[in-house]
Chain A
Amino acid sequence: MDDDILRMRGITKTFPGVIALEDVNLAVRRGEIHAICGENGAGKSTLMKVLSGVHPTGSYDGEITFDGQPVRFSGIRDSEHVGIVIIHQELALVPHLSIAENIFLGNELTGRGGLIDWNKANAEAARLLDEVGLQENAVTPVGQLGVGKQQLVEIAKALSKDVKLLILDEPTAALNDTDSAHLLGLLRTLKDRGITCIMISHKLNEIVSIADRTTVIRDGRTVETMDMSEPDAGQERIIRGMVGRDLESFYPDRESAAGEEVLRIEDWTVWHPTQDRKVVDGASLTVRAGEVVGIAGLMGAGRTELAMSVFGRSYGRNITGRVFVRGKEVRARTVAEAIDNGIAYATEDRKRYGLNLIDDIRRNISAAALGKLSKRGWVNGNEETKVAEESRRAMNIKAPTVMSVVGKLSGGNQQKVVLSKWLFTDPEVLILDEPTRGIDVGAKYEIYTIVNKLVAAGKAVLVISSELPELLGICDRIYTLSAGRITGEVPVGDATQEGLMALMTQDRELAG
């Protein structure tokens, strides 16, 4: 009938007290890759929930036309029935089931008598795996695969449902560069096969490289839809639309002023907790006061493992090596000892490991240093509230009071709570593991500013990040980690993405 496979017109969705979407319009052309950008909380996910039937017809205003037909979905089954499949950021796979079982979960291939035909299912699964370029046996349990491969299983699952419109929510957020590149390549292949794709992403460089058109959403409204072939379409224009203002720099400026050495790790070796292999192999590094030092490495290089094993031996076994804080050797066998010795570690997964999501801001901030607020085991609740209130203002945590429940905050604000918590322990060295993962551009800038203030106050900061531009933007020095070994140490002035990547992939064969 026309070029547009999907049209959403005048979508307005309200939650009690909040207008999540207001008169949003979205048109997606048949066979294109359409990116959707917006800050966290802008309404992207709500829009996709409306589209996929999670929010059923009737709970919102406006109309949806798919494939030329007006559609009314009362649940996700209805939308899948017409060929709309959504892959959420948190993957919905059952770890103990095999790849084939996951692919056909809820959609089982039955033979005679309603029994599942496993031979057929496994063969079909193998064909789908081949299509997405995943070389794994269909009977392998999904839990044994890395996140990147699990993502591919999700796509194979979508293909098994005769998908016409595939929606991906932050598909590359948890992937390393190799896996991301593979995934983006796969999306192009699917496009060639005529599958339309909507992709929500914060990674603007990916959007620029892959999307045909991009729709920007801000505060529940559509800002614009741009054709990426237009000359002025690009990251800058997207960011302008997302934040409603010009962003001249992603990274705040900082005077580099490294002082005396704060953290020294010597010959640090860590074994995998269950398997017989070294995860970190003889790593040594130093961080000085007033310095931001980065650790770059691909997924599985041992970055998080290095940090967690230093942080009170929270990971691994047979740990050898020495750690010094301000020249004094630290033998922290528990997290509490590590904190007492001035080490703080903000985890890469704040929801699972960083925060008590059902508790309020105040008690999350005090959680790691209750001793500072208590006398002989009694907590001074008023003092605690005062401290939390100060953090809320200093960090610009957007919440009405410090009694607000952390689980309801946006990702950026949650991360600020995590930072507040660790700053309140008054650490000498702060290890930040993926500090800006899943956070929108504005909040990222705020986090960088906080890091700058910290080092200006003489703290030492060690940043682990998958995003090389981020490391290049905020660090003074960068170590590269590959297969558990430090393969390079580069002052940021000499560092380039390509150079770092070469070091991050070097030595793999030797060590492997």
Chain B
Amino acid sequence: MVTMQQVLGALEGEVLYRGRNFDQCEVSFVVACDLMSDVLVVDVENILLVTSLVSRQSLKTAHLVGASGVVIVNNKTLPDDLVALAEELELSVIRTPCDKFKCCVVLGKLLGL
């Protein structure tokens, strides 16, 4: 189990929206996926969604499965309306310059896999 703060550090990321409890939020499982239908199939707690799909659906899907946060890879940023949505959903979103593979490798090491 790691915290969002540790995730942020390991990925040399930047916070796009800091949800309440960001510092306490824990991550124990990573779902790296651009197909939101596949995210909805995962049935575990404390998910971190790693995706390159920047859309309302990515944030809503993460929210609905109770994800601890979302990592946007390849340093893509969120348009203003999606930052507003993240705020509405109280969902932490960070971005990282890593591509999806590198991001997964880093998170795998961090989680001790």
A associates with B: no
